Amino acid sequence: MKVKNARNLQIYDILSRITQYWYKICKNIYKNTYILLFLFSVS
């Protein structure tokens, strides 16, 4: 049981890291899209 839990924790840790990584990327893309739209609407 203990080994299984440790493995689950490791998987969970990796998944949360990947999720945070993608969240950062998506937030940056979203921000950049907003800036681009703003620039297009101004010009």
Please determine, for residue 1, whether its predicted confidence score (pLDDT) is greater than 60.
Answer: no
d(CA 38, CA 42): 6
Domain ranges of the chain: 1-43
Q: What is the pLDDT of residue 4?
A: 80
Each residue of 2-43: pLDDT tens digit?
778 888 899 999 999 999 999 999 999 999 999 999 999 987
d(CA 22, CA 20): 6
DSSP secondary structure string for all residues of the chain: -HHHHHHHHHHHHHHHHHHHHHHHHHHHHHHHHHHHHHHHHH-
